[in-house]
Every structure is written in structure tokens, then in C-alpha cells.
């Protein structure tokens, strides 16, 4: 049999529509951008990867792509290792202070990893999860309902999509403002009805802590059986987080990044103190984002649930985190940003191979569903995605949808995410402050 080799690599920035979702970084603009990497092998099979978009990732992918042509796909591990070694200096500054991870190399390499794993799986007739870690561990992947306060986009000059006439009750509601507890409860009800979620996460870092705590308490009363969490992205100081903990104990299953670095103390030291004094388990996508940070977090007992998003850990890297979790009595979870269906398939395959206990996986999909880039997007039913008999990532690219999403990207003309732009439409001259909720100015 001839070797499977890399024939062609396409790097395609794409955009999709979004709601005015509020978070510590500001407000989501009407569109979000992602990068697709499509690798074609010597018999014409296509492997796909999807990652967040930035100009620096696009530039580095251009550098990485050319030398890969003609390489055997089965050497994907050494290909990925040498790319990481060669370009790791670009990530030396870490993830940055925003709610989203701003590294370059790890994202670029993950896009190539996903596409190569997809190709390998297709050639071997097996799902990607069988190629990761110790193979498939589970078939059913639980996801959570990711609730957001939503700004009044009509009060700004930005042109957000309006879907009020959509036949689906959730999709007709998701672009409308949601600025108080009642609106969050309504959101939770609609997504639970549509997708069957049993877990809810509220994005905090928007209003003063009391208002967000009130919303979570109300969620716990309305959905007494649900697992709940709140994520203020580290903007509370330790004393605020501990006060919140007394009100939320018994109502949340864990708190995500309730606090962060403070004065002379590191984020992991403060999280450890919070965890010990509050007795509430902690999760993070901010303070344990690479092996060295994770090792410190484990040594200091700062953490119960590392949210090992494969987009910034790599797919195999995220599965390795799950083994570490299993050996250290932690649970594994994954973080998300706005994404299309290819990322949903990537995360599902990684979670299928994750060892030990996993917590329901984050996804922004509820805000995007309907904008598919594949012919067969994964479906969330009963709060979960079933792996079933997938081959590769289990999705096939929809070329015409990708063309349209690329045309939208070109029309928007913005590759890097900047939530301060739309936020300034709500609050004049608004500036990011990692220690102040975005509506508190």
C-alpha cells in the first residue's frame, strides 16, 4: 500500500454571526472569526481542523504549511513535536490577561494536529479518539449550557443579526438582550428544552458580584437537580470570592476562576487559599494552561477541574491532562470560545478519550447552531453528543458553507478578537480592566 502523504494544505479564515455576549473582556462583536486548516492527502481525503483566529496565528500557519507537503501523515507525532519546538518562543509570554487565550503556536499546531488525526482516522477507518491517549473511554460526551448576559445591541451602532422570526424558540430569543436574573432563567429554560442540558454555567465578570450571585441562586431554585457554576474570569479579589462562596455553597458544584493573582500572591496561591477556606471545588481555563502551570497548581492544591481546551493544549495534550487528573484525584473538563461544528467534533473526540472523571464540557455552540461548516454537524441531545461509529472527526466539510463563511470574514476584515469595540457602544471610552466587571465603570 502506498504511504499516506500530505498533498495540499489550505488555511482558511472564516467568520460567523454572534450575539452581544458580555464578559470581563467587554462585549462580543456581531461576528467572530476562526481559522480552518484543511489538509488533503495523496488519495484526495480531506482532514480538517478549526481554531481561534488572529493575525499572528495566520502568519505562523503560513510558515508552517509549506515544508509539510510530501510528509507521511503517519509521522504526525514527530511533525507536531518539531513544529512546537521550532516555534514555541512565540508563546513565551503566556495566555495574556483577557478571558480568551492569546497564544499563537499552540493554536496553530493544534489545527494541523486535528487535520492530520482526521486524515489518519479516515485512512484507518477509526474515530480520532482511538488515536488519542489510550483510545476511546466513553461514547456519550456531556456538554453544559453556557449562559451569558446579553447586551442591548440595538442601542449600539453595530449591526447584530436579528433572529426573532426563527421557528426555533431558542434561536428566536438568543440575539435579544438578557440583562437580569429573569432573562437568565428564561435563557436556561429555553436551552434546557432545546438541548436537554443538565449542567449550566453562567458567564460572570459582567455585573457587581451580588447581581451574578442572585442569578445563580435563582437558577439553583428553578433547576434544583442541575449542576451549576459561575465564571467571573478571576476578576474578584479573594475576600469577595469568599463572601460569594458563603452564599453559593451547596448551590454550585464548583466555581470557575473565582479569583486570580493579588498583590504579592500568584493566581494559583490565591485559588488554593480560596479552595481551602471555602470548601468549594475550583475550575480554571486561566491559571493552569500549560504543563508547568498545571504542575504548580497541583502541587499547591489550587484546583479540582483543569479546563483543558484542546485548542490551547493540543488534542493529545488535553488527553494527557486527563491522565494526570485521574492520577491526582481531579476531574477533567474543557473550556470553549465561539466556534463552529468542526471544533465541536474535535472537543467531542478528545473528551471521548479523556481518562477518569470528566465534568460537562463547555461549548458556545448554542449561540452559533444553524451556521454549519460541515454536512453533518454533531447534535447535542439530552445534553450530550454520542461518538457512535464516527470515522476520523466524524464530519465532512461543506465547501459552499466554508466559501460563504470566508466571504463574511473578508467583509468584516477583522482577524483578532477585540471585545472592547462593541463594549464602547454600550459605555463610552470603555477600557478593559482585568479586576472590574465589564458593566461596572
For residue 100, the partner it binds in Mg ion, ligand GKR, none, with Cβ less than 5 to 8 A by kind, is ligand GKR
Question: Are the beta carbons of 175 and 160 closer than 8 angstroms?
Answer: yes
Of the candidate residues 17, 100, 195, 197, the single one contacting ligand GKR (CB under 6 A): 100
Give min distance, CB of 231 to ligand GKR, in A: 5
- What string of H, E and C letters represents the secondary structure of the chain? CCCCEEEEEEEEEEEEECCCEEECCEECCCEEEEEEEEEEECCCCEEEEEEECCHHHHHHHHHHHHHHCCCEHHHHHHHHHHHHHHHHHHHCCCCCCCCCCCCCHHHHHHHHHHHHHHHHHHHHCCEHHHHCCCCCCCCEEEECEEECCECCHHHCCCCCCCCCCCCCHHHHHCCCCECCHHHHHHHHHHHHHHHCCCEEEEECCCCCHHHHHHHHHHHHHHCCCCEEEEECCCCECHHHHHHHHHHHCCCCCCEECCECCECCECHHHHHHHHHHHHCCCEEECCCCCCHHHHHHHHHCCCCCEEECCHHHHCHHHHHHHHHHHHHCCCCEECCCCCCCHHHHHHHHHHHHHCCCCECCECCCHHHHCCCCCECCCCCCECCEEECCCCCECCCCECHHHHHHHHHHHHHHCCCCCCCHHHHHHHCCCCCCCCCCCCCCC
* Phi then psi dihedrals of residue 239, to 5 deg: -65, -35
> Of 46-54, 103-111, 319-327, 329-337, which part binds ligand GKR (CB under 6 A)?
329-337
Distance from C-alpha of 405 to C-alpha of 402, rounded to nearest angstrom: 5
Give min distance, CB of 142 to ligand GKR, in A: 17
Of 137 and 283, which has the nearer Cβ to ligand GKR?
283
Question: In Å, how far from its chain's centre is CA 431?
Answer: 24
Of 201 and 372, which has the nearer Cβ to Mg ion?
201
Question: Is residue 335 flagged as an active site residue?
Answer: yes
Q: Which residues in the 197-236 window bind Mg ion by CB under 5 A?
A: 231
Q: Which residues in the 189-208 window bind ligand GKR by CB under 6 A?
A: 203
Q: Which residues fall within 8 angstroms of residue 410, CB to CB, at 6 or more apart?
A: none
Under rule CB under 6 A, how many of the chain's residues touch ligand GKR? 11
Give min distance, CB of 335 to Mg ion, in A: 6
Of 76 and 100, which has the nearer Cβ to ligand GKR?
100
Of the candidate residues 54, 229, 282, 285, the single one contacting Mg ion (CB under 5 A): 285
For residue 153, the partner it binds in ligand GKR, Mg ion, none, with Cβ less than 5 to 8 A by kind, is none
Q: Does 368 bind Mg ion (CB under 5 A)?
A: no
Q: Does 175 bind ligand GKR (CB under 6 A)?
A: no
Of 54 and 336, which has the nearer Cβ to ligand GKR?
336
Of 20 and 132, which has the nearer Cβ to ligand GKR?
20
Q: Does 335 bind ligand GKR (CB under 6 A)?
A: yes
Of the candidate residues 4, 23, 29, 187, the single one contacting ligand GKR (CB under 6 A): 23
Question: Is residue 299 flagged as an active site residue?
Answer: no
Of 285 and 390, which has the nearer Cβ to ligand GKR?
285
Residue among 231, 190, 198, 193 nearest 212 (CA):
231
> Of 122-130, 141-149, 252-260, 406-414, which part binds Mg ion (CB under 5 A)?
252-260
Q: Does 254 bind ligand GKR (CB under 6 A)?
A: no
Of 83 and 259, which has the nearer Cβ to ligand GKR?
259
Q: Does 233 bind ligand GKR (CB under 6 A)?
A: yes
Give min distance, CB of 230 to Mg ion, in A: 10
For residue 337, the partner it binds in ligand GKR, Mg ion, none, with Cβ less than 5 to 8 A by kind, is ligand GKR
Torsion of CA 245, 249, 253, 254, to 10 degrees: 20
Of the candidate residues 31, 99, 110, 153, the single one contacting ligand GKR (CB under 6 A): 99
Q: Which residues in the 256-285 window bind ligand GKR by CB under 6 A?
A: 285
Distance from C-alpha of 363 to C-alpha of 383, rounded to nearest angstrom: 11
User: Of these residues, 28, 107, 122, 203, which one is catalytic?
Assistant: 203
Of the candidate residues 153, 229, 337, 415, the single one contacting ligand GKR (CB under 6 A): 337
Of 80 and 241, which has the nearer Cβ to Mg ion?
241
Which residues of this chain interact with ligand GKR, rule CB under 6 A? 21, 23, 99-100, 203, 231, 233, 285, 335-337
Supply the residues annotated as catalytic: 203, 335
Which residues of this chain interact with Mg ion, rule CB under 5 A? 231, 256, 285
Amino acid at each position: 500500500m502506498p504511504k499516506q502523504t500530505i498533498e495540499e494544505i489550505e488555511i482558511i479564515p472564516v467568520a460567523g454571526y454572534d450575539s452581544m455576549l458580555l464578559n470581563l473582556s467587554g462585549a462580543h462583536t456581531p461576528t467572530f472569526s476562526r481559522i480552518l486548516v484543511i489538509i488533503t492527502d495523496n488519495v484526495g481525503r480531506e482532514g480538517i481542523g478549526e481554531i481561534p483566529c488572529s493575525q499572528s496565528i495566520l502568519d505562523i500557519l503560513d510558515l508552517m504549511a509549506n515544508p509539510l507537503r510530501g510528509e507521511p501523515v503517519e509521522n504526525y507525532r514527530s511533525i507536531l513535536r518539531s513544529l512546537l519546538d521550532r516555534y514555541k518562543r512565540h508563546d513565551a509570554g503566556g495566555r495574556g490577561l483577557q478571558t480568551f487565550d492569546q497564544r499563537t503556536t499552540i493554536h496553530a499546531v493544534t489545527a494541523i494536529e486535528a487535520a492530520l488525526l482526521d486524515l489518519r482516522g479516515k485512512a484507518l477507518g477509526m474515530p480520532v479518539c482511538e488515536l488519542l491517549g489510550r483510545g476511546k473511554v466513553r461514547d456519550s460526551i456531556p456538554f453544559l449550557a453556557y449562559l451569558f448576559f446579553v447586551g442591548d445591541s440595538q442601542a449600539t451602532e453595530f449591526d447584530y443579526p436579528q433572529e426573532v422570526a426563527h421557528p426555533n424558540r431558542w434561536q428566536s430569543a438568543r440575539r435579544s438582550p438578557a440583562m437580569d436574573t429573569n432573562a437568565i432563567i428564561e435563557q436556561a429554560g429555553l436551552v434546557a428544552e432545546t438541548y436537554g442540558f443538565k449542567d449550566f454555567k453562567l458567564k460572570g465578570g459582567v455585573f457587581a458580584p451580588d447581581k451574578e450571585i442572585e442569578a445563580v441562586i435563582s437558577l439553583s431554585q428553578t433547576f434544583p437537580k442541575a449542576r451549576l457554576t459561575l465564571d467571573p474570569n478571576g476578576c474578584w479579589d479573594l475576600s469577595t470570592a469568599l463572601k460569594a462562596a458563603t452564599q453559593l455553597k451547596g448551590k454550585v458544584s464548583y466555581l470557575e476562576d473565582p479569583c486570580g493573582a493579588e498583590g504579592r500572591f500568584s493566581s494559583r496561591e490565591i485559588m488554593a487559599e480560596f479552595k481551602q477556606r471555602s470548601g468549594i471545588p475550583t475550575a480554571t481555563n486561566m491559571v493552569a494552561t500549560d504543563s508547568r502551570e498545571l504542575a504548580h497548581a497541583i502541587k499547591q492544591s489550587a484546583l479540582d477541574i483543569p479546563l483543558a481546551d484542546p485548542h490551547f493544549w493540543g488534542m493529545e495534550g488535553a488527553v494527557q491532562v486527563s491522565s494526570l487528573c485521574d492520577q491526582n484525584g481531579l476531574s477533567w473538563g474543557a473550556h470553549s470560545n465561539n466556534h463552529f461544528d468542526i471544533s465541536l467534533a474535535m472537543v467531542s473526540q478528545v473528551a471521548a478519550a479523556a481518562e477518569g472523571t470528566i465534568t460537562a464540557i463547555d461549548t458556545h455552540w448554542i449561540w452559533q447552531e444553524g451556521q454549519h461548516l460541515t454536512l453533518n454537524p454533531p447534535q447535542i441531545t439530552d445534553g450530550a453528543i454520542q461518538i457512535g461509529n464516527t470515522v476520523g472527526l466524524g464530519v465532512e466539510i461543506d465547501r459552499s458553507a466554508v466559501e460563504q463563511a470566508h466571504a463574511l470574514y473578508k467583509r468584516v476584515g477583522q482577524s483578532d478578537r477585540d471585545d472592547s469595540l462593541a463594549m464602547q457602544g454600550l459605555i463610552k471610552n470603555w477600557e478593559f480592566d482585568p479586576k472590574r466587571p465589564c458593566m461596572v465603570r
